[in-house]
Structure 1
Amino acid sequence: MATLKDVARLACVDVSTVSRALNNTSYVHPDTKARIFAAVKELSYQPNVLAQGLRQGKRHTIGVVVPRLHLTLFADITQSIESESRKLGYATLICHTEDDPVIEKECLNRLRNGFVDGIIIAGTGRNGHLLRDIHAGGIAVTQIVRKQEGTISSVIADYDACGYDTVRYLYSRGCREIGLINGTTSLAPYRERYNGYHRAMEELGLTETCATSPMPGNNFEYGYQCTEDLLNQNPDLDAIMAAVDIQGMAAIRALKDRKIRVPEQIRLVSLTGHSIGGLLETTMTSLEIPAHEMGEKATHMVIDEIEAPSDNKPSVQHLVFSASLVERESS
Structure 2
Amino acid sequence: MVKMRDVAKLANVSVATVSRVLHNPETVKEATRKKVLSVIEELNYQPNMLARQFRRNETNIILVVVPSIMNTVFSGIIEGIEYEASRHGYRVLLGNTNRKVENEYGLVELLKQKQTDGMILLSERMDSNYIKTLSEEYPLVLATAYIEGLKVPSVSIDNISSSREAVEHLIGLGHKKIAHISGPLQFAMSRDRYKGYKQALLQNNIEIRNMLVQEGDFTFESGYNQMLKIMALEKTPTAIFAANDEMAMGAIKAVKELGIDVPRNIAVVGFDNIGFSSKFDPALTTVAQPLFEMGQKSMKLLLQQIQGVPLLKEQYILECDFIVRESCGGKRKEKVITEKITT
Specify if TM > 0.5. yes
- Aligned partner of residue 180 in structure 1, secondary structure: strand
Q: CA 1:116–1:190 in structure 2 vs 1: closer, same or farther (change >3 Å)?
A: same
CA distance in 2, matches of 1:130, 1:54: 30
Structure 2: which amino acid aligns with 1:330? S
| 1:58 shift after superposition | 1.8
CA deviation vs aligned residue, 1:181-207 (integer Å, no higher than 9, x gap): 001222111111111111110121213
Q: Is the 8 A contact 2:167 2:200 kept in 1?
A: yes
> What displacement does 1:108 show?
1.5
Q: Give the stretch that moved more between structures: 95-104 or 299-308.
A: 95-104
Deviations 1:143-185 (A, max 9, x none): 1001247121110011001221112111111111111000122
Deviations along 1:257-298, one digit per CA (max 9) or x if unpaired, are: 111111101111112222221121321010100111111111
Distance 1:208 1:69, change over 3 A: farther
Cα separation, partners in 2 of 1:133 and 1:236, compared to 1, 3 Å: closer
Deviation string 1:245-266 (CA, Å, 9 cap, x unpaired) is 1101101111111111111011
1:152 counterpart residue number: 152
SS of match in other structure, 1:212 = strand
Query: Could you report, residue by residue, the CA deviation over 1:287-325 in whole angstroms, capped at 9, with x for unpaired residues?
Result: 10011111111110100111116xxx4255111112111
Determine whether 1:322 maps to 2:319.
Answer: yes
1:77 aligns with 2:77: yes
- CA distance 1:225–1:211, change in 2 (3 Å): farther
Matches within 5 A, 1:1-331: 56-137=56-137, 139-148=138-147, 150-209=150-209, 210-212=212-214, 217-233=217-233, 235-308=235-308, 313-314=310-311, 316-331=313-328
Q: TM-score, normalization: structure 1? A: 0.77
User: Contact 2:63–2:119 at 8 Å: present in 1 too?
Assistant: yes
- Is the contact made by 1:58 and 1:117 (CA closer than 8 Å) also made in structure 2? yes
CA contact (8 A) 1:211 1:227 kept: no
**Which whole-Å CA distance do the structure 2 matches of 1:304 and 1:180 have between them?**
39
- Corresponding position of 2:21: none
Alpha carbons of structure 1 residues 206 and 54: separation in structure 2 relative to 1, 3 Å: farther
Stretches of structure 1 that go unaligned for 5 or more consecutive residues are 1-52
Kept in 1, the 8 Å contact 2:245–2:272? The answer is yes
**How many Å separate the matches in 2 of 1:289 and 1:72?**
12
| Mapped partners of 1:182, 1:54: distance in 2 | 48
Amino acid at match of 2:144: V
**Cα offset for 1:56?**
4.2
Deviations 1:212-260 (CA, angstroms, capped at 9, x unpaired): 35x7x43122111111122223643111001011101101111111111
Decide whether the 8 Å contact of 1:66 with 1:122 is kept in 2.
Answer: yes
Whether the 8 Å contact between 1:119 and 1:142 is mirrored in structure 2 is yes
Please state whether the residue corresponding to 1:227 is helix, strand or coil.
helix
Which residue in 1 is equivalent to 2:333? none
In structure 1, distance between residues paired with 2:184 and 2:60: 35
TM-score by length of 2: 0.74
CA–CA distance in structure 2, aligned partners of residues 96 and 301 of structure 1: 22
Contact 2:230 2:236 (C-alpha < 8 Å) held by counterparts = no
In structure 2, how many angstroms separate the alpha carbons of the residues matched to 1:109 and 1:218?
Answer: 28
2:327 partner SS: coil
Q: Distance in 2 between matches of 1:257 and 1:208?
A: 27
Q: What is the aligned-residue RMSD (CA, Å)? A: 2.0
Structure 2: distance between partners of 1:100 and 1:277: 27
CA distance in 1 between partners of 2:192 and 2:132 (Å)? 23
* 1:151 and 1:316 in contact (8 A); partners too: no
CA contact (8 A) 1:105 1:127 kept: no
Structure 2 residue ranges without an equivalent (≥5)? 1-52, 329-343
4+ long deviations beyond 6 Å: none
Aligned match of 1:30: none
Q: Equivalent residue of 2:180, what SS?
A: strand
